[in-house]
Amino acid sequence: MSSTILNDDQALSVVPSSRITTYTEDLISPIRTTCPYCGVGCGVLANIDEAGVVSVTGDPDHPANFGKLCSKGSALAQTLGTERRLTQPYYQDKQRSIAKGQPTDKQPVEWEVVLDDIASRLNNTIATHGRDSVMFYVSGQLLTEDYYVANKFIKGFIGNNNIDSNSRLCMSSAVAGHKRAFGADLVPSNYEDLESCDLLVLVGSNMAWCHPILFGRFLAAKKRDPNKKLRGCSR
């Protein structure tokens, strides 16, 4: 199982800070949590031992995955280390890259330089093209506080309403389909329905790639009942 070594500061994201000072029996007990990646919502058990080694396993009691994890979920512990993360901004001169016909080396710069450059470019864009020339398209992985700051910045400081989030846009087609079919934005089925259905039709989706644990549940059900059918439709 994937694991990595954490020091006390790094382990704060896994273990409550009030219990970081010494590794007790409570710390060694698995911490029940949820995989943050796709929407299947697999249950995860995070384990940390006396040396600070974190390992991740599937939660066998979780109703979504029953202990199974895909390759991304299985490698969650590897994301806790900071060894391969950037610690400062890097700048690449695109004009020089275009002139040379090949990418130039990225150079490390201070945060103040980058922030001043971004502010200058935003001000120049607004001065030239107006406030509505700026739009924010933010990640679906932000926390509530992050969304608040982003909205405050573009609405309160830049002065427009041009902000959207992937957490809404990525579901827009599904919402439209649900409202037309059922009159409301809702999920019309549950995981057990996929296992009990006679025919599963996938439209515009590759469940085997995008949601392998859920797809595995259907395959297991099909193995128990070979008469189940799977059909895929794509454009």
Number of domains in the chain: 4
Residue 178 pLDDT: 85
- Report which residue type is found at 63: P
Strand 163-165 vs strand 199-203: parallel, antiparallel, or unpaired?
Answer: unpaired
Residues for the chain: how many in total? 235
Per residue in 69-98, pLDDT (tens digit) is: 999 999 999 888 777 788 889 887 777 777
Considering the domain architecture, whether residues 197 and 172 belong to the same structural domain is answered as: no
Considering the domain architecture, whether residues 116 and 160 belong to the same structural domain is answered as: no
Residue 235 pLDDT: 53
Of 167, 183, 199, the one marking the end of a domain is: 183
Residue 15 pLDDT: 32
The CATH number for 14's domain is 2.20.25.90
Residue 93 pLDDT: 76
Residue 234 pLDDT: 60
For 169, the domain range is 131-183
- 219, containing H or E segment: helix 212-224
Residue 106 pLDDT: 82
Q: Which residues of the chain have pLDDT under 50?
A: 1-24
